[in-house]
Amino acid sequence: MALTRASARAGPEMPLEVQIEKKLPEFTLDVAFTAGDEPLSVLGPSGSGKSMLLRCIAGLERANRGRVALGGRTLFDSSEGIRVPARERRVGMLFQHFALFPHMTVGENIAFGLAELSANEQQRRVAAVLERTHITGLEGRYPRQISGGEQQRAALARALAIDPEAILLDEPLSALDTHLRSQMEAQLQETFAAYRGPALLVTHNIEEAYRLAEKMLVLSRGRVAAFGARDEIFRRPPSLEVARLTGCKNFSGARTVSPGIVDALDWGCRLRVDHEMTKLASHVGIRAHELQLTETGGAIPAENEFPCWLVRSSPTPFRVTVYLSLRGPGPEEKGAASFDLQAELTKEKWRHICDRPMPWHVRLPPESIFLLPG
């Protein structure tokens, strides 16, 4: 019977405590956080230090200073001269490009870290993780004889076979095509639901980070830009940088008029906002999917509702991005530079509105607007 997350995580936590500094060519990786027995997505752009963070935790790279502890065991402590070898850390690592040994079968790859166990126990462990990752029957094949998705499942099985106290996944979906990525994502959700221990997922894909973990660490040039509950970071990003890194497209410089009222300087409008801040706001932002687009306004505009004109549209298979001006249609030669807001519409909404005369009307719900400090 499949384990639910609640039943699988009923035991004591095995926290992962990380405080490390590592000098890199472009910046210093300087990160501190604690992860409990739940998935944590590590989100950030390429080159932000995400992979190096995992390698330092796993013992594949040595931090210049700091401390790493897992379940009460110190794995690294620069002040005490402690550096547990990678093979003894009880950390399972899943790499972006599988890293399977090509001259070994799938079963031999999975058993690679089990040399100290008896042959019977190795066989039992391999059979268990083959079933757990849905690749039973492939143990006799070589990596070149199976698909990319099957190779990544085999790599995951190898990471789980050692019964790790933590699992670290470095961009595990990025080398897969769309169909295989969806299948592997479902596998990871199943694995996370049953796994008892910290699981860190490194990704630069915002949607993957959001779907696969309820807690999030946002990394930027080696520093923690945000850490906490996923929904809170997306709903109320702590800075302009974090808002951008989590996919927000709409920003304007802001001037506070009174409590709850701001002027959006770049959009040329005044807004009521529900977001309270102790610091003075320098910017205001709203996510593209939060904009509410209507074809006509009422005699008395709704709160935060303004006339708008379509500058251009950009379709995807399932949605349409529209670029809107709040200042009138403007000269056509301005092109893309003339828009103020970017909105995401369903194809159904787009078909309903695309032929309507302009101006349309756009509403910025007060509860969806966030303020950002200077």
- Confidence tier at 225 by pLDDT (50, 70, 90): very high
Q: For residue 7, is pLDDT > 90? A: no
Q: How far, in Å, CA of 227 to CA of 93, rounded?
A: 22
Question: Contact, 3 vs 194, CB < 8 A?
Answer: yes
Question: Contact, 107 vs 140, CB < 8 A?
Answer: yes
- Confidence tier at 282 by pLDDT (50, 70, 90): very high
Alpha helices in the chain (DSSP H): 5-8, 50-58, 106-110, 119-132, 148-161, 178-194, 206-212, 230-235, 240-245, 347-353
Per-residue b or e along 351-365, where b marks 16 or more CB atoms closer than 10 Å to that residue's CB? eebeeeeebbbbbbb
What pLDDT is attached to residue 96? 81
What pLDDT is attached to residue 275? 82
Q: Scanning the structure block, which residue is given the tokens 């006509």?
A: 296
Question: Is 283 exposed, middle or buried (CB count within 10 Å of its CB: 0-12, 13-18, 19+)?
Answer: buried
The tokens of 166 are what? Answer: 């933590």
Q: Domains in the chain and their CATH numbers?
A: 5-241 (3.40.50.300), 248-374 (no CATH)
Q: Compute CA distances 207 → 32, 77, 99, 175, whole Å.
A: 24, 35, 25, 16
What pLDDT is attached to residue 294? 78
Which residues, including other chains, have CB under 8 Å from residue 356's CB and lie 6 or more apart?
Answer: 295, 296
User: In terms of Cα–Cα distance, which of 23, 17, 18 is closest to 64?
Assistant: 23
Q: Scanning the structure block, which residue is given the tokens 């085999």?
A: 154
Least trusted range by pLDDT, from 9-18, 166-175, 191-200, 268-277 = 9-18
**Higher pLDDT residue, 277 or 313?**
313
- Confidence tier at 81 by pLDDT (50, 70, 90): very high
What pLDDT is attached to residue 13? 61
Which residues, including other chains, have CB under 8 Å from residue 26's CB and lie 6 or more apart?
Answer: 47, 221
Question: Contact, 98 vs 109, CB < 8 A?
Answer: no
**How confident is the model over 297-301, as a mean pLDDT?**
64
Q: For residue 6, is pLDDT > 50? A: no
Q: Compute CA distances 182 → 174, 206, 303, 318, whole Å.
A: 11, 15, 40, 16
In degrees, to the nearest 5, what angle opens at C-alpha 48 toward C-alphas 44 and 53? Answer: 95
What pLDDT is attached to residue 279? 74
3-state DSSP helix/strand/coil percent for the chain, to nearest 5?
A: 30, 30, 40
Which residues, including other chains, have CB under 8 Å from residue 157's CB and lie 6 or more apart?
Answer: 106, 110, 126, 129, 130, 132, 133, 135
**Chain segment 312-335, per-residue pLDDT in tens:** 999 998 899 999 999 888 655 444
Q: Scanning the structure block, which residue is given the tokens 């040329």?
A: 268
**Chain segment 107-126, per-residue pLDDT in tens:** 999 999 898 899 999 999 99
Q: For residue 179, is pLDDT > 70? A: yes
**How confident is the model over 270-274, as a mean pLDDT?**
95
Q: For residue 3, is pLDDT > 80? A: no
**How confident is the model over 291-300, as a mean pLDDT?**
73
